Structure 1
Amino acid sequence: MLLRRELKKKLNEAPSSLVVITDSQLEQDNPKTLGDALLDIPNVMMEAPDSPVFTRISIRGSDSDQITYLIDGVRQDNYTMSGNRPAFMFADPEMIKQIEVRRGGGSSLYGNGGIGGTIAVTTKTAADLLKPGRDFGAKLKAGYNNDADEFGQAAWLYGRKGPVDAVIGFSHRDGGKVISSSNGKRSKTPRNAQYDSFTSKLSFTPSDDSIFSIGYNYDENKLDQGRTDNEAKYRLKQHRLSGSWEYSSGDWVDLVVNMQYMKLDNKFDGTSYNDEAYFKDKFDSYSINTQNTSVFEFGGTHSLTYGFDASLNKQKATDVYGRPDRSRPKSKGYDAGLFIQDEYAINPYLTLTPVLR
């Protein structure tokens, strides 16, 4: 068992600024999107939680681009766009093991920009899905959601043999008109929304103190909204390839290395009512995060975490004529940092957390 897992806090032991949504809660609430799962958290405001494209989140009054988004420990740098661009994460609720929502800043471990808060998603492995004593399993699911006039289907295969753990799955949702939250009536605006998600994850555990994981995710969202002469069409495709290595040895070494490549294509077409209401975005992101945690006693218990992270982002946008979009010029972004954080438990009731980045 890795030390990092042993140190995970239970919900009733977490500080008041941190909310943890467990897999059992997700199973009970059965959210159709990640945004749906966050609706009941105090000081967290959601806009369009039913749509992966339009979801906007505010934590304690922050803007959506002032929040740090993480999937399996990797910061998702593409979700800081605005307007008709996505500003939220794509994660199939069926594959989410846990969601942590940290309200406000307070951590140097997640990079720059998270002054409003942090949303961290951990995805499932086959070990999380298998029944006791089983090595292989399958899951089929179908349902209808009245709020969105939406049908959904999902299929999963998963197994574990020796040190190898694998899961693969696909889900599809096809919805129509939504019910307005203000009057409880179904919108008269013609609407057709489809969301497809493919997930695969392979983990290898050569020993109790080490684990390697690699995953590939594909998400595609289609939305047609409005009458034929006044129609807006959205198309979004995302590829995400990630890998990680965790190694633990005693109290001094609890090492985690995460890497990710992400490619996102986003297109909006509103030319039926405005010849220039069109854009096409291409976004590529490369990132790495390395950190180690050491636990020791010195006037109390210290949990010292230190490491570095770096990312490279590339973005290119074109207008309806295929020319560079002047509102979103071609650009590159580099971000790198060193960090150190000490959680110093003076006694069972008082913990200090000095940080430096």
Structure 2
Amino acid sequence: MTFFVALILGLLLVILGLTTSWPWWAWPAAGALLLLTAILTQRQLAPRPVPVPGEFLAHPDLPLPETQRQEYRISHVALPSCVRDYDFSFSATVQWRVLDVSSDAPVINPAGLAVDAVLERARAVTVHQPPHRSSLAQHQLDGALGTMCTDATGRVTVMAYSVELSLPEHDRERLSRLSDVRKDEDVWEHERNYERNKRTYLGDDVLKDTGSAVVWWLSRNDEEIEGAVERIGMLAQLSAAARNEPVAPLFEHLAYPRETPAPDNGGRESATGPEASGAGPAEPAPESPFSTDTLLSWFGVAPDDPDRDLFATRLADVARAHGKKHAEETLLKSSTVTEPLVDDGEYQ
């Protein structure tokens, strides 16, 4: 910087002296002025000496060392879940930093304190998680253990990363089987409730009496009014059988043929029989108190149906299971199969 200042000032003095035609004695004076200017510039720009060097100071300006954090890997530590006897397997890398304390503080094992603090924080999360939710619990642990927190002693700050949480394979298979069983049990319970509700609906509502049975049949066949009238007798028998009661007197003439006396009337002929109408003495009553052909036709079984005998025999089995001996004998007589197909024990 001194050299450039002297050079520029010298060029200015030369240009000024040549243009103004200085006398000869002015040139030495200009040279002396140029030399004095260079000396003053050099002194002004020279660095000032430091009284005490930096290396001899009591606290030299050195960079502070970065705090060292220590790590320790823990693997396959059992942590409880919300279900007894189903424990998670926990693994993670524990990182801690020792805090500054007074000189008279007791000596500690920072690794032990750090691991204990991490396990306590992890246990507080897993104890509320179901065992089959290990993946969800692992992500929750990542968040819960991802912050440096002071332990209970106040001597270290701890965090954990690379968290792994799993359930042993045999426990996973056992839980899967239990889940399948519970699902099957729920389905079975719903099916049983459906069947129970259906029986209650039929017994307490549809077949509560003959009128309810007729209305139910009409609701399903609202355009077959004549068919409903033809089936009143059968519906009366069905409603009476559902309640284990005889047919109501109001519907006896529809439930049984006119020439057939009603059952359980003490040997007396029906009021609607031939004698009541003045047609002469009654003919011997047939063995069947109802028309088997009409009953089978109501079920949609035609006289020439190849399964007619088998169907009648199965109805006889149902009658026998409910203690209707007379109905069983009548149905068996209308079939070529004279032996029951099943035992009473099978219905029970």
Give TM-score, length-normalised by structure 1. Answer: 0.17
Give TM-score, length-normalised by structure 2. Answer: 0.17
Structure whose residues are more often helix by fraction: 2
Structure whose residues are more often strand by fraction: 1
Whose radius of gyration is greater, 1 or 2? Answer: 2
Higher relative contact order (CA 8 A, sep 6+): 1
